[in-house]
Amino acid sequence: MHYTMFSQAITGGAGAILAQERLLLQVRIEPIIFVGASYRETMTNGLLGVGAFFVFYLLSGDPSEADWGLYVIALLALATLAWACALAAASLTVFLRDVRLALPIGLRLLLYACPVIYPTDFVPEKLQTVYFLNPVASVFGILQHALFGTPAPPRLSLIVSAGAIAVALVAAHLLYGRSEPKFTKAF
């Protein structure tokens, strides 16, 4: 559920500005509103799915073993990264229309490059520090650790991943800010 919410937020946001090109040519509206609306809708639907996950989780396991505080932090990190990627993808899609076509392929590769469908134990111990430098892998590693008690990603990779998420957020907003004045010329 967590990965589905993440990937749908990115793919939905990627086409949000371009889908409103006719309206943007007629009325002066801040295009980030459309990305935000798509993101909010996806997150709302995703949180409903996460709620269903919790029902099954509570029925099948011992919820007292979970680290709920860490889980919430990981969920916020995942949501922040999804927003940054959605905003960057939306900004790029206006100029490079093939970004929307390439995103599902890239997200599918990311699915296999992160501990979404397999536990973190599958990654050889000597490669874990490098493997968890991928911010998405670190977030999903923390989600697994918080919910299922798998080994936590190395601290160094968590620090690097937190920094990468912050840089991605700033970079996405800078990209949007520099691209936004040129959107109507690209339509």
Residue 153's pLDDT band (cuts 50, 70, 90): confident
Q: Which two tokens stand for residue 62?
A: 């011992």
Is pTM beyond 0.85? Reply is yes
Q: Which two tokens stand for residue 120?
A: 């973190």
| Residue 124 pLDDT > 80 | yes
| Residue 185 pLDDT > 90 | no
Q: What is the mean pLDDT of residues 126-152?
A: 88
Q: Which two tokens stand for residue 63?
A: 């919820």
- Per-residue pLDDT at 47: 87
Residues 115 and 35: their CA atoms lie apart, in Å, by 28
The full set of domain ranges for the chain reads: 2-186
Q: What is the number of other CB atoms lying within 10 angstroms of the CB of residue 113?
A: 12
Residues 68 and 66: their CA atoms lie apart, in Å, by 6
Specify whether the CB–CB gap between 38 and 16 falls below 8 A. yes
